[in-house]
Amino acid sequence: MENFKATEYTLKCVATEHEFEDTGWVLEDKECEEPSLVRAIYKNKKLQLKGSDYGFYTFCDWLPVSRLLKGSAAPVTYKSEALAKHLGLKNLYITLNGYSPKHGAKMTTGSFKETEAYSVCGRMSPDEKHVLVVASAGNTARAFAKVCSENNIPLLLSVPADNLSAMWFEKPINPCVKLICCEKGGDYFDAIHLSDLALKSDKFFAEGGAKNVARRDGMATTVLSAVTTIGQIPDYYFQAVGSGTGAIAAWEANMRLVEDGSYGDKIMKLMVSQNAPFVPMYDAWRADSRAMLPYDADKARRDVMIIDAKVLSNRKPPYGIKGGLYDALKATDGEILVATNAQARKAAKLFEELEGVDIHPAAAVATATLIKAAQDGKIDPEAIVMLNITGAGEERFKSEHEIYTLEPSKVFPLDVEAEEVIESVEALFANEQ
């Protein structure tokens, strides 16, 4: 790791194919006249894995990072036996993001959001004077809090009050990390709105979400883990989605792997899922609409309250943006599937019984749709299937460790004015500048 040399890359606008230099924290092509993602184009076309001591950064050839941060762990992929046999699948591979000693999985937050955090924070300059802002339904906040706390990176988190149970950690959090939240009854969209108000201050800057190439390419390491373990690109990719960013990342990784040429030329069929009754992307996809369909805000909040997988509750995801989930599904002949709470709970119980690991509600949603797809004969028994378990081992980790919580420094009403937010968040970091 001492000899680390950052990978050279440029950025390319999906809509226009305009290629340009990354000047430090570029989230979009300013010359593009329509909403579009930008992609990292890496000079290294052949993926060369680093040693195990690199942790997550074993994949740094295809990460837009300028430095390596301590404490990281990579996704772990293994071939399923018990669940595969139960489903009649001969080549089911599970990519495990979380904590499971027997599988060598070492993500202490229990979530694949660590792949985002280590990549995004690795993209940041060590000399950055502004405070990073991240809005989250829970898991992303926990991951960024861990990484920023351990590496002394100032961070402002915005999380809904109803999701504060996600703010648990294995050790006390560094004071450089501050948490604010919107009052009870708010959801992920409200947390995003609150963070947008904070960003009106010039002392803060936005992480960027799906628009940040570091976030997507960090998440793409789940596919890199699977493909380098299997030795070829899978036929199917299963994952639950809230914003669709993970699936977009999987598609982008797939294209890089085809260009690499070492793992075949297959295009994975993206099989992504939502937790009913909160299914805005499913509804848009079923209508073959690039644009999201109207969704009453009050109904959306009620639906979010119902679902177990709160992390899948993005009301305005990057679905229709150029290079977004709609394009990813079209390019891969993909599908959006749905699982109810009851189906997901049953799937989680089955997964723990057969694979020996407790999984998060979102991962249970993905597992439930895989079970149904296999039962309905939608998958060739010989096909290579990747199941992305995006969160796992939380219950076991908590049972084996003393747990600390991060309490919010400030709780805001849903209709708060920008001036109040700005004054409050600037005061939180007054001694950190």
Which residues of the chain carry a pLDDT beneath 70? Answer: 1-2, 432-433
What is the DSSP code string of 226-273?
HHHHHSS--SEEEEE-SSSHHHHHHHHHHHHHHHH-SS-----EEEEE
What is the per-residue pLDDT across 340-396, written as a single tens digit (0 to 9) for each?
A: 999 999 999 999 999 999 999 999 999 999 999 999 999 999 999 999 999 999 999
Return the structure tokens found at 58: 């074993």
d(CA 192, CA 414): 11
Q: What's the rounded Cα separation, in Å, for the pair 216 and 213?
A: 5
- The predicted pLDDT at position 130 comes to 95
Query: 141-155 b/e with 16+ CB inside 10 Å = b?
Result: bbbbbbbbbbbebbb
Q: How many CA atoms lie within 13 A of 341 on its CB side?
A: 10
Sign of the CA dihedral with 405 first, then 409, 415, and 419 last: negative
pLDDT at 432: 62
The string of DSSP letters for 313-379 reads --SS-SSSSBTSHHHHHHHHT-EEEEE-HHHHHHHHHHHHHHHS--B-HHHHHHHHHHHHHHHTT-S
Domains contained in the chain, CATH given: 76-111+214-397 (3.40.50.1100), 131-202+403-433 (3.40.50.1100)
Mean pLDDT of the chain: 96
What is the pTM for the complete model shown?
0.95
Count of CB atoms situated within 10 Å of the CB of 298: 7
User: Tell me: the pLDDT tens digits for 15-33?
Assistant: 999 999 999 899 999 999 9
* 3-class secondary structure, 107: coil
What local confidence, expressed as pLDDT, does residue 251 receive?
Answer: 98
pLDDT score for 187: 85
pLDDT tens digits along 226-267:
999 999 999 999 999 999 999 999 999 999 999 999 999 999
Percent of the chain with pLDDT over 70: 99
pLDDT confidence of residue 336? 98
| Distance, CA of 46 to CA of 62 (rounded, Å) | 9
User: In terms of C-beta density within 10 A (0-12 exposed, 13-18 middle, 19 or more buried), how is residue 82 classed?
Assistant: middle
Question: 10 Å Cβ neighbour count for 196?
Answer: 15
CA 333 to chain centre: 22
Q: Which pair of structure tokens corresponds to residue 197?
A: 């108000």
pLDDT confidence of residue 40: 98
Q: Which two tokens stand for residue 193?
A: 């709105």
Q: What is the pLDDT of residue 1?
A: 62
pLDDT of residue 2: 64
